[in-house]
């Protein structure tokens, strides 16, 4: 069976590159955002916020680096799970990666939206949004390969289960004496 290529890559190669891209992009995101997220001024927090929305806003702004660091750490672990899942041919790891990346990007957009007011320089805000939007588009590009490869693995495992099921059905008809002799040979070898 000939493998299909998209943009010069197979689904497996694109999935591997997706994991590598996510690890590198997450590290770069942490390095760049560290200064901008830690510079939030949380010393002027009112003890009694005016509403629940203000409370959530203050929590996200003051804890933004901790939230981003936590999410990025999980993202790196999920990316390593993706790379292992490719090696072990486990489609559940690929689906987990796809779902996590969607959650991670939505959380990053929310944090970016709440912390955008802290950047007083317009160029810095533009670069932060450009980096985030570029990363989101690249993740969407790579998710195509991840979902395609997960589908390929799922189909191949489903066909493998059907083949083994057919073998079990046919084993009752004519193949039983052969399997019995193998068991007897094994027990004879084991007793010696």
pTM of the prediction? 0.71
**In which residue are the tokens 């040979």 written?**
185
Which residue has tokens 């970016």? 112
Could you say which residues of the chain have pLDDT below 50?
164-165, 175-177, 180-182, 186-192
**Alpha carbons 35 and 56: distance in angstroms, whole number:** 22
Q: What is the DSSP letter of 118?
A: G
C-alpha pair distances (Å), 149 with each of 16, 21, 90, 161, 168? 10, 17, 10, 18, 29
The conformational region for residue 115 under phi > 0 = left, psi -120 to 50 = alpha, else beta, is alpha
Q: What integer pLDDT is reported at residue 181 of this predicted model? A: 47
Chain-centre distance for alpha carbon 38: 26
């Amino acid at each position: 069976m000939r493998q299909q290529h998209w943009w010069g890559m197979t689904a497996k190669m694109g999935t591997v590159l997706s994991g590598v891209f996510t690890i590198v992009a997450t590290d770069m995101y942490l390095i760049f955002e560290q200064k901008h997220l830690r510079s939030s001024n949380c010393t002027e927090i009112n003890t009694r916020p005016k509403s629940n929305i203000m409370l959530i806003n203050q929590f996200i702004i003051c804890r933004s680096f901790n939230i981003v660091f936590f999410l990025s750490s999980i993202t790196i672990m999920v990316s390593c799970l993706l790379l292992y899942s490719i090696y072990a041919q486990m489609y559940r790891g690929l689906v987990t990666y796809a779902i996590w990346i969607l959650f991670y990007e939505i959380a990053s957009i929310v944090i970016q939206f709440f912390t955008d007011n802290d950047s007083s320089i317009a160029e810095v805000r533009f670069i932060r949004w450009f980096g985030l939007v570029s990363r989101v588009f690249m993740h969407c590009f790579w998710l195509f390969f991840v979902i395609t490869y997960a589908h390929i693995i799922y189909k191949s495992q489903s066909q493998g289960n059907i083949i083994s099921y057919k073998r079990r059905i046919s084993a009752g008809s004519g193949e039983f004496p052969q399997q019995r002799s193998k068991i007897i040979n094994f027990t004879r070898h084991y007793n010696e």
